[in-house]
Amino acid sequence: MLDWLRLVRLPNHATAAADVLAGFLVAAHWTAAAPPPAACWLAVLASLCFYAAGMVLNDVEDVELDRRERPERPLPRAAIGIATAARVGHWLLGGGTLAACAAAVVSGFPGPAAVGAALTTAVWLYDRHARRTAIGPLVMGACRGLNWLLGMTAAGGPAVPAEWLIPLGMALYVAGITIYARDEAARSRRLGLAAGMAVMAIGLAVAAGCVWLGPARAAPPPGGLRPNDWLMLWGVLSASILVRAAGALVVPVPHRVQPAVGNAIMSIITLDAALVLAACGSRWAVVVLLLLPLFLAGRRLVPPT
């Protein structure tokens, strides 16, 4: 079981769930004490399936490279058969598609099914063709942006144009992480690390546009922050991520790069909670933030990268 948990990158599933939950809450402007409806949780289930499928199929395609660079991974060690892993990965893709379609039926809006189809395509494209190409980081970022949209469409879609900046910004942020982490198993190139940090910073700035340009600037929700205070909070969170990443520029070796990558991934939950704080107030921001202990507990079992 531990090998399967390593194969699917267990801790990172908390970030996938946080994206979808946050997407639903932000698009619905959910301030009620009652839990979100079934469409939200079906979208979360779909996201978890898509994320696990992407991780498993990535390792199936990377098995020869991992035999050289990461021989401790489950597939190179033959702890899990390659054919078995491929079969499970495709089952998970199918499960994600079914859950996304169920979310569309329950919500009465076709958006989740369309986003689910796009996510299936993006996962397949990344794992089979784009991983080692120049467009790989963009496809990986698109998966994260679509993940946010999966939650938003379960609530009927982004309510105002400024909310589209959130999935776009988070897509760029994760594309930057992917660029930064490209050589994490060996000595990284400083230029690649710097480029990754720059794209991450742009993504964080774009996501902040939902508050700077959106209606939240005029009327913060109960328990929320005034727009200028929220932007200060977002700036502090963004700076903490980028400062941690900058530490590896001095000595770009794996034991410096990999913790910075893990921190950038973990911070997705905190960023999602901050975005919920801007749109829905503190109650649901805390709920999203409670996924952080799950990430940390999972990280004690298996590495997130």
Question: Where do the structural domains in the chain lie, given as residue ranges?
Answer: 2-301
Does pLDDT of 215 surpass 70?
no
pLDDT, tens digit, 9 for 90 and up, residues 10-43: 888 999 999 999 999 999 999 888 999 999 999 9
pLDDT, tens digit, 9 for 90 and up, residues 230-271: 999 999 999 999 999 998 888 888 878 888 998 999 999 999
Q: Which pair of structure tokens corresponds to residue 42?
A: 């079906």
pLDDT (average), residues 87-110: 95
* pLDDT of res. 165: 95
* pLDDT of res. 128: 84
The alpha helices in the chain, defined as continuous H runs, are: 2-7, 13-28, 38-61, 63-69, 82-107, 111-125, 136-154, 165-180, 190-212, 227-250, 254-280, 282-289, 291-301
